């Protein structure tokens, strides 16, 4: 499985990639993908590649390899914030076994492994998460609190890309 615009990516190395993660049939779990779609509608810059993926862990590295900067958007479940809260982290802030992924290898472990084996990973990796309420119900809609966070998160991410 490769990114949909891989030839475009190869023609423009050194750009920024924005990847929304999730599963759009599991209620709030699709929030990362919905945010990336919102960003794609509002942001038109040739140096920023916006994509979406239903993967995590080691497979996510394929999406960010070759870029100077990566912005990853995903559902988070910390239990520390109300649903719909937008959270900002860097890769260094992530604990091993992060709640950003339910896959065998956490995002922080995947990044560390990728760097250790010499992958061309971004020097800057930013993570935007949205605190979720329900990631187990089969639904193509987010819960109301998380749905309201989509345009807010998209604007925060766009602003961070413009700085």
- Residue 141 phi/psi, 5-degree rounding, is -125, 145
Has residue 89 got a pLDDT over 60? yes
pLDDT(68) > 90: yes
Residue 83 pLDDT level (bands cut at 50, 70, 90): very high
Which of 4-32 are b and which e, b meaning 16 or more Cβ less than 10 Å from the residue's Cβ?
A: eeeeebeeeeebbbbbbbbbbebbbbbbb
Residue 136, domain extent? 6-162
Q: In this model, does residue 73 exceed pLDDT 90?
A: yes
| Each residue's pLDDT tens digit, 98-157 | 444 444 677 888 888 999 999 999 999 999 999 999 999 999 999 999 999 999 999 999
Cβ–Cβ < 8 Å for 100, 74: yes
pLDDT averaged over every residue in the chain? 86
Q: What is the pLDDT of residue 11?
A: 53
Q: Which residue has the tokens 């924005």?
A: 18
Q: What is the mean pLDDT of residues 3-26?
A: 71
Is pLDDT of 7 > 80? no
The total domain count for the chain is: 1
DSSP E strand boundaries for 36-78: 48-53, 69-76
User: Is residue 151 situated within a structural domain?
Assistant: yes
Structure tokens at 120: 């061309």
- CA dist 99 and 104 (Å) reads 12
Pick the more confident residue, 108 or 63. Answer: 63
Check residue 1 and give its pLDDT.
36
Q: What percent of the chain has pLDDT over 90?
A: 66
As a whole-number percent, the residues of the chain with pLDDT over 70 amount to 84
Domain-located, residue 1: no
On whether residue 138 sits in a domain, the answer given is: yes
Point out the least confidently predicted range of 13-17, 69-73, 130-134.
13-17
Any domain includes 29: yes
Measured distance CA(116)–CA(130) in Å, rounded? 29
Predicted TM-score (pTM) of the model is 0.85
Per-residue confidence (pLDDT) for residue 135, from 0 to 100? 93
Q: For residue 62, tell me if it sits in a domain.
A: yes
Instruction: Provide CB contacts within 8 A for 3, sequence distance 6+.
Output: 9, 51, 53, 62, 63
CATH for 135: 3.40.50.1450
pLDDT the model gives residue 20: 97
Which residues are CB-neighbours of 47 under 8 A, at least 6 positions away? 12, 15, 16
Q: In this structure, is residue 146 part of a structural domain?
A: yes
């Amino acid at each position: 499985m490769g990114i949909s615009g891989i030839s475009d990516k190869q023609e423009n190395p050194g750009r920024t990639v924005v990847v929304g993660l999730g599963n759009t049939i599991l209620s709030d779990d699709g929030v990362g993908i919905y945010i990336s779609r919102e960003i794609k509608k509002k942001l038109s810059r040739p140096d920023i590649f916006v994509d979406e993926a239903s993967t995590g862990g080691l497979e996510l590295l394929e999406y960010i390899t070759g870029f100077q900067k990566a912005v990853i958007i995903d559902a988070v479940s910390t239990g520390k914030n109300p649903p719909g809260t937008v959270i900002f982290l860097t890769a260094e802030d992530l604990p091993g076994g992060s709640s950003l992924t339910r896959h065998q290898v956490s995002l922080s472990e995947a990044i560390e492994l990728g760097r250790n084996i010499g992958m061309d990973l971004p020097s800057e990796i930013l993570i935007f998460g949205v605190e979720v309420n329900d990631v187990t119900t089969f639904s193509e809609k987010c819960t109301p609190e998380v749905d309201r966070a989509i345009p807010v998160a998209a604007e925060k991410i766009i602003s961070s890309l413009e700085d």
